[in-house]
A and B are shown apart, each in its own frame.
Chain A
Amino acid sequence: MTATVEKPALRHRLAERGIDRVLLLLLPGVVFAVALFLYPFLYGLQLSFAPKSGGVFSNYSRFFSDPYLRNTIWTTLGIALPATFVNVLASIPIAYVMRGKMRGKRLMTTILVVPITLGTVLTAQGLIMYTGQLGWLNKVLMSTGLIDAPLTLIHNYAGVLLSLIITGFPFSFLLTLSYLSGIDPTLERAAATLGANWGQRFRRITLPLLAPGLAITFCLSFVMAFSVFPSAQLVGDPAGATRVISIAAYHAAFEEYDYSMGSAVAMIMAVLMLLIIGLVMTWRATLYRGATGGKG
């Protein structure tokens, strides 16, 4: 008798390759990604190479040859990078204190996170009311005699920076807090019994384990800050000191009605963001990224 080895059922062979009905759960996500991201992106990309006049690359060459357009890159980076650094660096000590059990933790977290829920417009409104020429801050400072003339904190660089910090900080704080909570607190206790003081424990144990998380936090915070548009318009100086790249794109598309140029600026924006993220992630790849012993 010859034994014939039967082939396993089709369903089993597919399951072996990870194909089963659970994959259908991905469908809505894929549809959304294609319809709302991939298609518009590719459409914009081809549009940017179809300028109103000139060759295929004329939009791009116009952007880089016109200082009024080109300099928006530096303006944007000049706002987005400091805001991101402040947000990430300020979130470390606060998250460090708040990672364990502590009294009033929930209240504190709520207070720190509320600005996310307000949105840029309400924050801008609040900034104008509070820090404007006739706002409370200037009134208080003037009446106490600390300053003679009101400080100009809005409709300039400072206003946009403040707005980005107020709206961006809660986000980077929450991320940093979750990364820090994932680091086993016993590690620091072990370092203490080995003779490391507070500073050494932070620098040699906590920081190296936190750094990959900080890189991610930095990237996400940076992306949010880089696409700054409402606050640059509302509390900034959109024609001068805070003429950021997104304003240039808006200007091209909706004031000059040159969608092709607008798309080109948007593409340049995307490349810039990817460039910065690429740099940060390359640095991250050199770090230890394994388990941090925590509860996750």
Chain B
Amino acid sequence: MFTELRLDGVSRSFGSADALKDLRLAIKGQEFVALLGPSGCGKSTALNCLAGLLPLSGGSIWIDDKRIDGLAPEERGFGMVFQNYALFPHLSVRANIAFGLKMRKVAKAEVTRRVDEALRLVQLTEHASKFPAQLSGGQQQRVAIARAVVLEPPVVLMDEPLSNLDAKLRIEMRMEIRRLHQTLGLTTVYVTHDQEEALSLADRLVVLRDGTVQQIGTPEEVYAQPANGYVASFMGYRNMLTLDIASVNGSGLVVQGKGIRLSGTNRDGLTAGQAVAAVRPEDFVVGDSAGNSIEVTVEIVEYHGRELSVSARLPNGDPVFFRTDKRLAPGDIAGISVPAERVLVFAP
């Protein structure tokens, strides 16, 4: 076991395009870190650099005080789970899982014992002699995970492992991965574009955009205190209203425009000019007109069981989104309000 996996200014460019710029990240032993961002943000590049499947254009990777970025993937011994599972189609489930142990020349009895254990761990014991093509997507993914963790690697790398599964299975597998991490305590680097997945799995999140780190923090920090407008919009602040600053009062400020006026929290030390007010749809409250409220015209109402997801129009016609358990109908005029600390105001 190690205490720290350190990426020191890791960069990777393809031709003149920088896929990853100066990534600095220290991952503690047994930590679960998620790299989060939209496609093309450099998260998969970072993972492939860690695995040794892509050479670095700059920087270095360290495990404690051992430099590892010069090692070939087979010498690093990191486990990796691929987006398309990459199971060996000509080998049975058992042989797939045993592959890495055989490469390490583990004794036969030991291989059998550890493969059996891994099969039990991912609940596939009765499918051991099947071939990958005979399994469902979720089962294939479990084989891929078992194949990676059976080696008890110092680090497990997961490249969007759930993105090819349907919604129900995705949630099940998410819990499975969390459970495995809790059981085995393997240091995990997990790449995803799904903020919900990242929030629910990781101890720490790294939000990337165009190859640059936007924010590193715990799920709570990134969720409640996004570092900038980009992270906010990615973390579910669906309302990103461009408004003018009316007045600034310490950490608070008032923004107005589009026929509305809102008090908010100054996140970027703004003084004047334009700003973006970020508000989560679920932070709006309908009917409570005590301060910081705006009047909107309901346009589209989606039924979500316990609550409604509403798309409405501001007085100037721009869209605004909120959630409510009140029964609203298209055409209704509603007053919605939001606490000033839940209006995060960023530089545009």
**A residues lining the B interface (CB < 8 Å):** 184, 186-187, 189-197, 200, 204-205, 208-209, 288, 290-293
Contacts and interface: CB of A to CB of B under 8 A. Distances in A.
A192 B72 contact: yes
A200 B72 CA distance: 14
A161 B54 CA distance: 43
B237 interface: no
A195 B77 contact: yes
A209 B89 CA distance: 8
B104 interface: yes
B114 to A, nearest CB: 13
Contacts of A209: 89-90
Interface string B51-62: 111000000000
A152 B86 CA distance: 52
30 contacts: A184-B86, A186-B86, A189-B73, A189-B82, A190-B86, A190-B88, A191-B88, A191-B99, A192-B73, A193-B51, A193-B52, A193-B74, A193-B157, A194-B74, A194-B79, A194-B99, A194-B103, A194-B148, A195-B74, A195-B77, A195-B151, A196-B99, A197-B72, A197-B74, A205-B88, A209-B90, A288-B89, A288-B90, A291-B133, A293-B89
B145 to A, nearest CB: 12
A218 B53 CA distance: 33
Nearest to A187: B86
A179 to B, nearest CB: 14
Given A189-B80, A196-B99, 12 more contacts: A184-B86, A186-B86, A189-B53, A190-B82, A191-B103, A192-B74, A194-B74, A195-B74, A195-B151, A288-B90, A290-B133, A291-B89
A190 B53 CA distance: 10
Nearest to B153: A193
B281 to A, nearest CB: 38
A28 B86 CA distance: 43
A246 B135 CA distance: 51
A288 B87 CA distance: 14
A221 to B, nearest CB: 24
B84 A186 contact: yes
A293 B88 CA distance: 9
B89 A292 contact: yes
B223 interface: no
A208 B99 contact: no
Contacts of B73: 189, 192-193
Interface string B97-135: 001100110000000000000000000000000010100
A114 B28 CA distance: 57
B142 interface: no
Contacts of A189: 51, 53, 73, 80, 82, 86
A214 to B, nearest CB: 14
B153 to A, nearest CB: 9
B90 A195 contact: no
B346 interface: no
B322 interface: no
Contacts of A186: 82, 84, 86
A204 B51 CA distance: 21
A191 B53 CA distance: 11
B147 interface: yes
Given A194-B100, A195-B74, A196-B74, A290 B90 contact: yes
Contacts of A208: 90
B103 A195 contact: yes
A127 to B, nearest CB: 41
Contacts of A205: 88
Q: Which 5 A-B pairs have the closest CB atoms?
A: A194-B100, A288-B90, A190-B86, A195-B103, A193-B80
